Chains A and B, each alone.
Chain A
Amino acid sequence: MSDIPAPIAMLAELTHRCPLSCPYCSNPLEMVRGAQEMPTEIWADVFAQAARLGVLQLHLSGGEPAARRDLPELVADARAAGLYVNLITSGIGLTAARLDALEAAGLDHVQLSLQGVRASTADRIGGYKGGFDRKMDLARLIADRGLALTINAVMHRTNLDDLPRMIEMARDLGARRIEIACVQFYGWALKNRAGLQPSRAQVDQAKAIVAAARADSNGRLVIDFVPPDYYADYPKSCMGGWGSTGLNIAPDGTVLPCHAAQTLEHLEFQNVQQTALADIWYRGAAFNAYRGNAWMPEPCQSCPRKALDHGGCRCQALALTGDAAATDPVCRKSPDRAKVDALLAEGETGTDADWVYRMSPV
């Protein structure tokens, strides 16, 4: 089908409901209510369509996916469709019995988020008392079953200095992989940017810690590290290029090129309950809006890096410059880079006392 590649990964936000209320949550500010969530059989059909389209990996996410009672059924449906099934969870709502059911359904991998390395900070960040202890119990249950585990550590000003302990904990908990994701500023995190943004010194130290941990883990722990992009000279390659490797389904079936795309209000996003997934991927106006290079302005258009970073992130361009088709303002070549530098300077003064916590939809 022309030169548009088939997608490799799909993120399914099964629900936006969640017992936690992290101030950097990647859900949109306007969340989908429980009553609008798609039922089991429609999700099952979406998984089958995705597999036929070429999707290999399915990430079951939320909100908290365990808030869906039909989670084991959904896992079984996704496996039957031929997908690799990864569960992205806070762990709250999972018990030994539910883990058994998920394992029996064919779950391939669990990605457990940790908000911090001790109960006092972690529970304050997640806004859920007792959460840390339950995560520790759950990690042990996962290890007992021999299920593949990744620790997902979301880092920011308040916990970035605990990084060495976080890496140690991932090893102790039997994870094969840790994803150290510094908060990127969209949605809730953008609202709370000043109180979340780490200092340059913190980030430089984190990079050194990661480099050292990689050198000494010799293959024992895979470390994926996403530094905060404001301190970078060039933007991240967002989604590996718009509409080229992945897609995101909101709880109500809205199909998005990335999880933050709903901020691009000038685009119309189609719903998989009305239109076939392949139609949306190949022919949908939203997916074609920033595909390839033709839409790019200068300085991207004549830049040799455009094949590497695709001009950066559209949501960030819109949020910081007001123009979704602008060069990502993180880029040193962007005429708007001064805006990012101004935010960095301002961020030096923010504190976590100002956090606005997300709220779960009903």
Chain B
Amino acid sequence: MNVPVLPSGVRLHEDRVRNCIVLLGPERALLLDASGTAILNAVDGVRSMAEIAQELAQRFGAPLDAVRTDVEGFLKDLAARRLVDIV
């Protein structure tokens, strides 16, 4: 179904020292930029990657194809590092 979900042991954290959102996992801490933050905030274990892309494209008034490429590339890269599961 291509639904991304954060596995156990991985979570988002608000870093008040560096003023950004961080993705924390086993031995990993990824400081996220605005686009990474928007994508991961939309990951709720219910919506598919396509649905997330659609929502973000609408919200930011950006072309859907480009957003979909970004969303899938970002999440698949995290999935390869087991920081996201795609189920």
Contact = CB atoms under 8 A, between A and B. Distances in A.
A57 B29 contact: yes
Interface pairs A-B: 6 shortest CB-CB: A148-B9, A54-B17, A84-B24, A109-B9, A56-B29, A219-B80
Interface of B: 7-11, 13, 15, 17-18, 22, 24-27, 29, 79-82
Interface of A: 6, 8-9, 52-54, 56-57, 82, 84, 86, 108-109, 111, 146-148, 150, 176-177, 179, 218-222, 224
A82 B26 contact: no
A84 B9 CA distance: 9
A86 B29 CA distance: 13
A176 B9 contact: yes
A288 B11 CA distance: 33
A6 B8 contact: no
B24 A147 contact: no
* Residue among B7, B17, B80 with most chain A CB within 10 A: B17
6 contacts: A6-B17, A84-B24, A148-B8, A148-B26, A177-B26, A222-B82
Given A82-B13, A177-B26, A147 B80 contact: no
Contact of B18 (A54, A111, A148, A221): A54
Given A57-B29, A109-B9, A148-B10, A177 B82 contact: yes
B17 A86 contact: no
Contacts of A109: 9, 25-26
Contact of B7 (A8, A86, A148, A218): A148
Nearest to B22: A56
Contacts of B79: 219
Contacts of B26: 86, 109, 111, 148, 150, 176-177, 222
B24 A176 contact: no
* Residue among A53, A82, A108 with most chain B CB within 10 A: A108
B42 to A, nearest CB: 21
Contact of A57 (B8, B10, B24, B82): B24
Given A86-B26, A179-B27, 17 more contacts: A6-B18, A52-B17, A53-B17, A56-B13, A56-B29, A57-B27, A82-B13, A84-B11, A86-B27, A108-B9, A109-B9, A109-B25, A148-B26, A177-B82, A219-B80, A219-B82, A224-B27
* Residue among B10, B26, B82 with most chain A CB within 10 A: B26
Nearest to B9: A148
A8 B8 CA distance: 21
Contacts of B22: 56
Nearest to A8: B29
Contacts of A108: 9, 11, 24
B77 to A, nearest CB: 10
